[in-house]
């Protein structure tokens, strides 16, 4: 083999630069995804201080809770759900919303503690729901209580 053919021998071809930019872009997207998951799953009080994210999270919690309470009320009015299970489901959903909106562990609080604290405006609705759930002689209209819970969630700030 002659030496004049050696000029055609070269090393491996280098990678294209777009592979580097693709790797950097995917890394940034992955980091942003983990940050978003972390921020949106934080308890209510810590995230409420963030201006845009806190407001967006609060609105999403409101919409989800209103939709759930409305569905429970509709099922109760249609006769698919009795008064006791409907009252329990609405109470559970309302307490979950209050916990998501304020960070207060409303799911585990008694009515006296709710009435004495920052969640006092929710106490009358929760009292009606508790009465409908645990009092066999209750005269509380669960459909009206569902409407009250929906209005409370809608007006919560």
Mean pLDDT confidence for 16-38: 94
Residue of 154, 153, 133 lying closest to 142 (CA atoms): 133
Please indicate, yes or no, if residue 137 is contained in any of the structural domains: yes
Please indicate, yes or no, if residue 5 is contained in any of the structural domains: no
pLDDT at 36 over 90: no
Please indicate, yes or no, if residue 132 is contained in any of the structural domains: yes
Q: What's the number of domains the chain is made of?
A: 1
Angle in degrees, CA 54, 58, 64, rounded to 5: 145
The reply to whether the predicted model has a pTM over 0.75 is no
Q: Considering the chain, what is the average pLDDT of its residues? A: 88
Give the list of residues 6+ apart from residue 138 with CB closer than 8 angstroms, or none: 83, 131, 132
Please indicate, yes or no, if residue 83 is contained in any of the structural domains: yes
Please indicate, yes or no, if residue 138 is contained in any of the structural domains: yes
Instruction: Identify the residue whose tokens are 């939709």.
Output: 67
101: containing domain:
45-155
Please indicate, yes or no, if residue 31 is contained in any of the structural domains: no
Please indicate, yes or no, if residue 101 is contained in any of the structural domains: yes
What's the token pair of residue 70?
Answer: 């409305």
Residue of 72, 68, 104 lying closest to 85 (CA atoms): 72
Our measurement of the distance from residue 98's CA atom to the centroid of its chain's CA atoms, rounded to an integer in Å, reads 11
Q: What is the pLDDT of residues 134-148, one digit of tens each?
A: 998 989 999 999 999
Mean pLDDT confidence for 56-78: 92
Q: What is the distance between the alpha carbons of residues 130 and 88, in angstroms, rounded to a whole number? A: 8
Band (45; pLDDT cuts 50, 70, 90): low
Dihedral of the CA atoms 71, 56, 95, 123 (nearest 10)?
-100
Q: Are 129 and 87 in contact (CB under 8 A)?
A: yes
pLDDT at 1 over 60: no
**E strand or H helix at 91:** helix 83-102
Instruction: Identify the residue whose tokens are 């890394």.
Output: 27
What's the token pair of residue 147?
Answer: 């409407």
Please indicate, yes or no, if residue 2 is contained in any of the structural domains: no
| Dihedral sign from CA coordinates of 112, 116, 117, 121 | positive
pLDDT at 129 over 90: yes
């Amino acid at each position: 083999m002659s030496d004049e053919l050696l000029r055609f021998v070269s090393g491996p071809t280098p990678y294209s630069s777009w592979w580097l930019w693709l790797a950097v872009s995917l890394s940034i997207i992955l980091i942003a995804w983990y940050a978003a998951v972390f921020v949106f799953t934080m308890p209510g009080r810590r995230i409420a201080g963030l201006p845009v994210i806190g407001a967006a999270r609060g609105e999403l919690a409101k919409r989800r809770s209103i939709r759930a309470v409305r569905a429970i009320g509709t099922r109760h009015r249609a006769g698919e759900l009795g008064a006791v299970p409907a009252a329990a489901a609405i109470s559970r959903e309302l307490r979950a919303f209050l916990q998501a909106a304020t960070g207060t562990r409303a799911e585990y609080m008694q009515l006296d503690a709710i009435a004495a604290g920052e969640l006092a405006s929710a106490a009358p609705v929760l009292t009606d729901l508790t009465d409908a759930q645990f009092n066999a002689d209750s005269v509380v209209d669960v459909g009206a209580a569902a409407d009250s819970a929906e209005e409370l969630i809608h007006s919560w700030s």
